[in-house]
Amino acid sequence: MDRMISPNPHPASTAEFIALEELYGASNYKPLDVVLTRGEGVYVWDVEGKRYLDCLSSYSAVNQGHCHPKILAAMQAQAAKLTITSRAFRNDQLPLFYEELCALTHSHKVLPMNSGAEAVETALKVSRKWGYEVKNVPADRAEIVVCGDNFHGRTLAIVGFSTDPDSRQSFGPFGPGFKVVPFGDAAALEQAITPNTVAFLVEPIQGEAGVIIPPAGYLKKARELCTRHRVVLILDEIQTGLGRTGKLLAEEHEGIEADLTLIGKALSGGFYPVSAVLSNKEVMDVLHPGQHGSTFGGNPLACAVARAALRVLTEEGMIENAAKMGEYLKAGLRDINASRVKEIRGRGLMVAVELHPDAGGARKYCEALKDRGILCKETHTNTLRIMPPLIVTQAQLDEALAEFRAVL
C-alpha cells in the first residue's frame, strides 16, 4: 500500500469534513451532521463558528463541563512530568487516586481500567472468580443475571447477553453463563437465582434504553436478595454515577451499597479514558498478581486527571446543582405540554422525552434542535435524552427549553 499524505489536509467546511469521514471511516455511527471543534463549559462550537448548548455531555463523560480549567491544568502538569509507567512499576499518583476515591465512595478496594466496557469485563471476571473460590460454585458453572434492554458496552462477552438485535446480530457465537430477566422485576430476579448464581449486573437507571427508572424499592430488594443468596451485586454506574442523578452515585437514592460499583466517563471529566471498579475487600481480594490487568490502567496521567475531576465535581457543588436543575428541567419540559410527547421522566440531569410512536421518531426532532443550537441525541427510536453538563444554570436551561418548546 502506497504511503501518502492526504492531498487536502485542511478541510474547512462542514461538508468537507463529513465527506472525509464517510470516505475513510467505518460506518459504525450515525452522528448528527455537525462538526465540532471547540468546547467550553456547557457550550460547543462547530467549524463554521456556530455555538450549541450541549445537552448530551458525551453520555455523561463531561459532567464537569467541557475543558474544565482545573482538570486541564492537572493534565498539563502531569503530562509534562510522567504519563505512563505500566503497572510493572509503581507511580506517585495511583496511591493518592486510590485513597481519595475510596474515601469519597466508601469503597474498600479500587481496580483502575480505561473504558467502561473494560470495567464491566473486570467485574464479570472478578465475580466469577469469587464464585468459584469463595462461594464454591462448581467449575465453569457460574451464572450471572442481567436485565433485558441492558447496555454495558460492546465487547463480545457483553453483547452476548444484550437483548438489542443491532448489538448482537452476526457477532456470535456467544459465551454461556448469563440469564436475562426483566428490568425492575424483583420477583423475576429472585426466581432466576440458583446455587450457581455468582452475580447480578444492573444499571440503576437504564440510559441507552431511554432513561428507564425502576420502581421504587427495586434496588433495595435486589440488595436484599443478593445478600440472602450470597450473590455479588454489581451496579453499572458508568452513566449514572458521579453526580448525574443528583447524588454522587445513583445507589444512594435507595440507601444501598453494591459489592462492585463501576464508574467511568465523568471520572476524567472527558479528558482521558479512565474507569474503575469499586469493591468491597472480600470480592476484590480474589485477584492475585498476573491474573488481570491493563497496560494503561492506573497510569499517572489518568490518575492525576481523575483526582482533579473528582475534586471539582465535589468542591464546586455540581452534584447539588444536578439535583436542583434536574427538577427545574423536568418541570419546564412538562410545562410545554405538547401532544406528541408521551412522557417526561428522569432523575437529576438524566432526563428523557419519550414521544408517541406516531410522532415520526425522535431523530428529526434532534436534527431540528441542532439547527436551533441545541445538541441532544435520540435513543430507541422515539426517545430524546437530555443530559447537559452538571454546571448548567437556570438561564441556560431556559435557553434550551425555549427551543424544545418551539420544536415539540
Closest CA to 55 of 273, 366, 405, 368: 366
Domain count, the chain: 2
In a domain, residue 5? The reply is: no
On whether both 153 and 270 belong to a single domain, the answer is: yes
pLDDT at 11: 84
On whether both 132 and 277 belong to a single domain, the answer is: yes
- Tell me how far apart the alpha carbons of residues 128 and 119 are, in angstroms, rounded to a whole number: 14
Any idea what the CATH number is for the domain that residue 324 is in? 3.90.1150.10
Any idea what the CATH number is for the domain that residue 108 is in? 3.40.640.10
In a domain, residue 90? The reply is: yes
265 catalytic? Reply is yes
pLDDT at 8: 57
**C-beta of residue 236 within 8 angstroms of C-beta of residue 262:** yes
In a domain, residue 126? The reply is: yes
- Tell me how far apart the alpha carbons of residues 1 and 207 are, in angstroms, rounded to a whole number: 42
- Please report how many Cα atoms fall inside a 13 Å half-sphere around the Cα of residue 372, on the Cβ side: 18
Selecting among 265, 330, 370, 377, the annotated active-site residue is 265
Domain boundary among 268, 287, 315: 315
Cis? peptide before 214, omega within 30° of 0: no
On whether both 165 and 228 belong to a single domain, the answer is: yes
On whether both 307 and 326 belong to a single domain, the answer is: no
Record the cell numbers describing residue 84, joined without a space: 505512563
On whether both 42 and 173 belong to a single domain, the answer is: no
pLDDT at 4: 58
pLDDT at 361: 97
In a domain, residue 9? The reply is: no
In a domain, residue 4? The reply is: no
User: Would you give the distance in Å from CA 353 to the centre of its chain?
Assistant: 19
On whether both 159 and 186 belong to a single domain, the answer is: yes
Could you list the pLDDT tens digit for every one of the 408 residues in the chain? Answer: 556 555 556 788 999 999 999 999 999 999 999 999 999 999 999 999 999 999 999 999 999 999 999 999 999 999 999 999 999 999 999 999 999 999 999 999 999 999 999 999 999 999 999 999 999 999 999 999 999 999 999 999 999 999 999 999 999 999 999 999 999 999 999 999 999 999 999 999 999 999 999 999 999 999 999 999 999 999 999 999 999 999 999 999 999 999 999 999 999 999 999 999 999 999 999 999 999 999 999 999 999 999 999 999 999 999 999 999 999 999 999 999 899 999 999 999 999 999 999 999 999 999 999 999 999 999 999 999 999 999 999 999 999 999 999 999
Kindly provide the b/e burial profile for residues 363-372, where b requires at least 16 CB atoms within 10 angstroms of the residue's own CB: eebbeebbee
DSSP per residue over 86-112, as a string?
-TTS--SSHHHHHHHHHHHHT-SEEEE
In a domain, residue 73? The reply is: no
Domain span holding position 61: 14-67+318-407
On whether both 186 and 273 belong to a single domain, the answer is: yes
pLDDT at 130: 98
On whether both 170 and 308 belong to a single domain, the answer is: yes
Record the cell numbers describing residue 96, joined without a space: 493518592
pLDDT at 7: 56
135 catalytic? Reply is no
Domain boundary among 283, 300, 315: 315
The torsion angles phi and psi of 233, rounded to 5 degrees, stand at -90, 120
Selecting among 236, 330, 370, 377, the annotated active-site residue is 236
Domain boundary among 271, 299, 315: 315
On whether both 185 and 293 belong to a single domain, the answer is: yes
The torsion angles phi and psi of 205, rounded to 5 degrees, stand at -135, 130
On whether both 157 and 255 belong to a single domain, the answer is: yes
Selecting among 17, 54, 97, 151, the annotated active-site residue is 151
335 catalytic? Reply is no
What's the distance, Cα to Cα, between the start and end of the chain in Å? 51
Helix (H) or strand (E) holding 344: strand 341-347
On whether both 327 and 394 belong to a single domain, the answer is: yes
